[in-house]
Structure 1
Amino acid sequence: MSNMAAKGPVYYQEDGFLKINTYLKESKPSKVFILVDNNTHRECLPAFLQKIDTSENFEILEIEAGEINKNLETCTGVWNALSELDADRKSLIINVGGGVVTDLGGFVASIFKRGISYINVPTSLLAMVDASVGGKTGVDLGNLKNQIGVINHAEMVVIDPAFLATLPQAEMRSGLAEILKHALISSEAYWNKVTNLSELTLDDLDDIIKESVEIKSKVVTEDPQENGLRKTLNYGHTLGHAIESYFLTHPEKTTLLHGEAIAVGMILATYLSKELQEFPEEKLKEITSKILDIYERVEFIKEDIQQIIDLMKYDKKNSHGNINFVLLKDIGDSVIDCKVPNELIWNAFEYYKKT
C-alpha cells in the first residue's frame, strides 16, 4: 500500500463520522479546534457537531469567507488564536468548509509547531472532488494563487454530500468544473456521464463524487510530488488560474469563482490541444458547447488577455522560465509539459470569443 493510500484516506457519510469519533477516542488529541468560515459556521457546523459524540470541548475558530482571505494574514490570525488557546503538538484541527477552509486550515496545521494533525470535512462540491484530496495545502500570495504551501496529508477526509444542500447554485457549478476536468483527463465514458446533467439526481451526484475522488486519488497515489502524471490534474488550470487571479485583483471586473475561470481555461486548453496535439475538432466543438451551456461566457478585452498571459509566468507548474501546459490528444489521453507560443494563446481567446 503506497504512502498516499495509507495517509489521508477518504470516507463517506455516516462511515466518515464514525471514523472521526473513533479517531478522537483512540488518538486522544490534547485539544480539538474546528476551523470554519462565517458561512459554514452557520450552515454546516450545527449538522457536523450533531454527528460527533465526544465530551471534549471544541474550540471553534472562524475566518472570513472567500478566496480574498486565503492569505498569510488570515493564517497569522489563526496561529495567534491557537497559541492563546494553548494548542500544542498533540492538538487536532478539523477543517469544516470549502476549498479556502481546507487549503488554509491544512496549511495552518502543517506549519504550527512544525506540524499538528488535521482532518478535512469538505462542504462544497469543489472541495469534495478537488481541494481535500491529495494533501496540497496553501494560501495565495497577493493575487498569485497557492504560491505558499506544502504537500501534507490530512489524517482523513470525510465527504458527506448532504452538506451540498446548503450550497448556492453558482458554487455547485464551480465544483462541477473540476469534475469535468477529471472526466476530460480520464475517459470519454465518464465525460458523457457527467455532461448529461439534465438527468442527474442527488444519488447520481454521490456516485459522481466518488468516481471523481477516485480518479484524483489514483493519480496522486502514483505521483504524490507532481513529477509527472499528477500534472494532468492541471488541465485547464494554467490559463484558468491566471484568469481567476486577474479577475480577483481588478475590482472593476466581476470576480469569477474558481470553477468559472477553470471552465474558460478548459475551452482554451482544448483549442490549444487541437492546434498542437491534433485533438479531434468535432470533440473540441462538443466540449465547448457543453461547457458554455453550463457557464456564462466571460468577456475579455485586449488588455485583459495581455495581463493574463503575463500572470501565467507565476504558475507553480513552470520551471526554467517555461510555461508548461497540459494538453490532450483525445479525451483521456493527455500530454504534459507542452510549450505553447503566445500567438496561439491569443488565437485561443479569439476562438473562445467567437464560438
Structure 2
Amino acid sequence: MASVEYENVGKSFGPVRVMENISFTIADQRFVVLLGPSGCGKTTLLRMTAGLESIAEGEIRIGGARMNQVHPRDRDIAMVFQNYALYPTLKVYDNIAFSLQVRKHAKEEIRRQVEWAADLLNLSPYLDRYPKELSGGQRQRVAMGRALVRHPQVFLFDEPLSNLDAKLRGQMRYEIRRLHDRLQTTTIYVTHDQIEAMTMADDIVVMRDGNIEQIGTPEEIYDRPANCFVADFIGSPSINFLTGAVRAEGGSPVFQSGSVALPLPADCGASPGQSVVCGIRPVDVSVAPEGTVQGEVILVESTGAESHILLSADGQELRAVVQGRYRARPGDTCALDINPAALHLFDADSEKRIG
C-alpha cells in the first residue's frame, strides 16, 4: 500500500491551461474523491497519476517513488474506467484473468486469483458468460475484478458509475466502499456527483478550473465550505444564497437583505456595513406559524418522505426541505423560520468564507 503525493503539478493542452500548481498528499489507505464539474481537471489529474497523460510540470510520487518517467505498467496501480473497457470476445473469467495471463502467471495461481475476486464481487455464477450477457452493474464488477487480481498499491476509479441507473449506482457505491474497507488499499475516485463523494469518501478534493478549492472530510466541507462555489456544489438540494449586508442592532450583528433580517452570532467575523452573501441550507429553512420571514410559495415538489418547497422572500428565492407532505398552492403565503446558528457567511467580493 502507498501514499500518493502531488507537488506543483501543472498541465496545458497547447495554449489551454487546464491545471495550475496542484499540491496535496493522499495518505496510505485513504479513500479520496476528486470532485468537481466537467472540465475542472479531475480526470486529467487521475490520468496523469496512471501514466496515461504526461506530467508536464511538478512531480507525482507513489509510495515515495517519483512517477514522472515511469511507464504505466510499472506504477503498480489499477484503473477502472467509466466505459468498463472489457474485451467483448473474452468470457468473464478471461477478462478478469487477462493481466495475469499476459504476465504468464501459473494457471493454478490465475484460477485462484480469479475465483477469489469473483467470490468477493458476487461474480462466481457468471464466469462463463460474455460481457454482452451481463447487466451494467455486473460489467462494472468485472472491470473491478480485473483490477483486484493485480493487487495494486493504488486503485483509480474514473467516474465508474456514470452509465448506471440510480438504483444500481446506490448499490455500486456500497460495494466499492465495502471493497475498500476490506482491502485497505489507497483509492482515488473521480466524480462530478456530490452524493457519491459525500457517501463514499474519507476526504474530498473539490476542484474548479484546474485549481483546488478545498480539501477536507465530507462533514468539514458540508459544514464549513471555504467559498460560495464549494457551498453551492456540495449539498442536495443546493444551498440558498441571499445577498445583503451586515448591520449592528443593539450591539449585535444582523444580516439584512431587503425585509429579511437574520440575527448572527457575535463571533461571526463580519463587520457592520460589510457586503456579504448569506448561505442557508434548505434543511435549515422550515415553515412555521411563528416564523419571522414571510414567503410566497412558487412550487412544491414531493419526494415521498420529504417536500421541497420553492419560495419567494422579498424577491429572492429560497428553497426549504420539510418532512412529510406539505400542501400548498403557488401564490400561497407562509411564515419561514431560519436557523441562525446554521448560516454561512461569505464576502460578497471574494466569495470566501467569513469567520
Query: Normalising by structure 2, what TM-score?
Result: 0.32
Larger helix share, 1 or 2: 1
Query: Normalising by structure 1, what TM-score?
Result: 0.32
Larger strand share, 1 or 2: 2
